[in-house]
């Protein structure tokens, strides 16, 4: 009896010390959850979620201040990924935050109308607009996230959103059209596998 008590006490003390040490030694700096959420977000930095960028939104989700369905650029896929990451139910996109785009777009500046006011440059969250005061501005297409934040500040409305053209290099093979309905058993088997 006494031996058992002593043994258990000794064990609990040993494990307690071990855990206490580990919590100090392996302390995680920052909030890894925010990083994980931020990685799932599309990084358009468009602010449609109501937060000034993707990271603030990620912080808000991690803090429980925002829902996972406020990111239109991420779309349903993004919501699905967030739901998986956070272990919550996926839900449809909140229409208050906007709608997902059917095709990705990038901004295009009509250089003939542009007066070189630099307002769009200041608005661009990823510095994808090139130009200087009274100089023609242009969009670096490969860096544009299509956030549309440059549209509003333009005093002469010379910026428009253009769909990104698909090229043979970006093309994705479609899934076969007539995909057979899986038999229930097969579906179970696949989920088990």
Partner 1 sequence: MSLMTRLFGFRGGLHLDYRKEMSTGTPIQIAPVPPQLILPLSQHAGNPAKPRVKVGDRVLRGQTIADADGFVSLPVHAGTSGIVSAIEPRPIPHASGLSAPCIVIDADGKDEALATPEWEPAEDINALDAQTIRDRVRRAGVSGLGGAGFPSFIKLAPGHPVETLIINGAECEPYISCDQLLMAERADEIIGGIQVILHTIRAGRCLIGIEDNKSWAIAALKAAAAADQRIEVVVVPTRYPQGGEKQLIQTLTGLEVPSRGLPLDLGLVVQNPGTARAVWRAIRHAEPLTSRVVTVTGSAVSHPQNFDARIGTPMRFLIDLAGGYTTPPDRLLMGGPMMGFALPTDTLPIVKSTNCILATAPGELRPDEDAMPCIRCGACQDACPINLLPQQMYWHARGKEYDKAQSLNLFDCIECGCCAQVCPSHIPLVQYYRHAKTEIWSEQQEKRKADAARERHEARLARIEREERAKEEARARKKALLAASQAAAKPAAATAPSPVEASASAVGNDDPVARAIAAAKAKKAAAPAADSTSDDPVARAIAAAKAKKAAATSGTAETDDPVARAIAAAKAKKAAANADAAATNTKRAKPSAADDERIAAAVAAAQARKAAKAAAAAQPQATTEADDPVARAIAAAQARKAAQSADASVPAAPQSSSATTGDADDPVARAIAAAQARKAAKAAAVASESPSAPTPATNNTADEDPVARAVAAAKAKKAAKAAAAVAPEPVPAAASETSAQTDDPVARAIAAAKARKAARAAGETPTE
Which one of residues 83, 85, 130, 161 is an interface residue with partner 1 (CB under 8 A)? 130
Q: Which of 163, 159, 156 is nearest to 128 (CA)?
A: 159
Q: Taking CB under 8 A as the rule, which mask of x and - marks residues 132-161 in contact with partner 1?
A: xxxxx-xxxxxx-x----------------
Please select the residue that binds partner 1; options are 34, 37, 44, 159, rule is CB under 8 A: 44
Determine if 59 is a binding residue for partner 1 (CB under 8 A). Answer: no
The candidate with the shortest Cα–Cα distance to 37, out of 65, 52, 53, 59, is: 59
Region near partner 1 per CB under 8 A, out of 9-17, 25-33, 52-60, 90-98: 52-60
Residues 6 or more apart whose Cβ sits within 8 Å of residue 127: 121, 143
From the list 7, 59, 54, 47, the residue with the least C-alpha distance to 150 is: 47
Q: For 179, phi and psi rounded to 5 degrees?
A: -70, 125
Closest to partner 1 by CB, 95 vs 191, is 191
Return the bridge partners of 139, or none: 129
Binding status of residue 32 toward partner 1 by CB under 8 A: no
Instruction: Cite the DSSP H helix spans in 63-183.
Output: 75-86, 119-123
Nearer to partner 1 by Cβ, of 68 and 149: the residue is 149
Binding status of residue 181 toward partner 1 by CB under 8 A: yes
Residue 61: phi and psi, rounded to 5, are: -65, -45
Determine if 179 is a binding residue for partner 1 (CB under 8 A).
yes
Burial of 149 (0-12, 13-18, 19+ CB in 10 A): buried
Quick check: 48 binds partner 1 (CB under 8 A)? no
Using rule CB under 8 A, residue 192 touches partner 1: no
User: Residue 23 or 122: which CB sits closer to partner 1?
Assistant: 122
Contact set with partner 1 (CB under 8 A): 38, 41-45, 53-55, 109, 111-112, 114-118, 125-128, 130-136, 138-143, 145, 166-168, 170-176, 178-183, 186, 189-190, 193
């Amino acid at each position: 009896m006494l031996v058992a008590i002593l043994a258990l006490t000794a064990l609990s003390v040993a494990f307690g010390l071990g855990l206490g040490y580990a919590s100090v030694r392996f302390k995680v700096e920052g909030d890894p959850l925010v990083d994980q959420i931020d990685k799932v977000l599309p990084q358009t930095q468009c602010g449609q979620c109501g937060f000034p960028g993707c990271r603030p939104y990620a912080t808000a989700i991690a803090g429980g201040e925002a829902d996972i369905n406020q990111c239109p650029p991420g779309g349903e896929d993004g919501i699905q990924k967030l739901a998986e990451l956070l272990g919550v139910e996926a839900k449809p996109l909140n229409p208050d935050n906007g709608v997902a785009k059917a095709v990705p777009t990038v901004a295009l500046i009509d250089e003939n109308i542009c007066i070189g006011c630099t307002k769009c440059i200041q608005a661009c969250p990823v510095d994808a607009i090139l130009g200087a005061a009274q100089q023609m501005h242009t969009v670096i297409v490969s860096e544009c996230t299509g956030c549309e934040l440059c549209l509003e500040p333009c005093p002469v409305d010379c910026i428009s959103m253009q769909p990104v053209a698909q090229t043979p290099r970006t093309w994705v093979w479609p899934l076969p059209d007539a995909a057979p309905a899986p038999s229930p058993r097969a579906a179970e088997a696949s989920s088990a596998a």
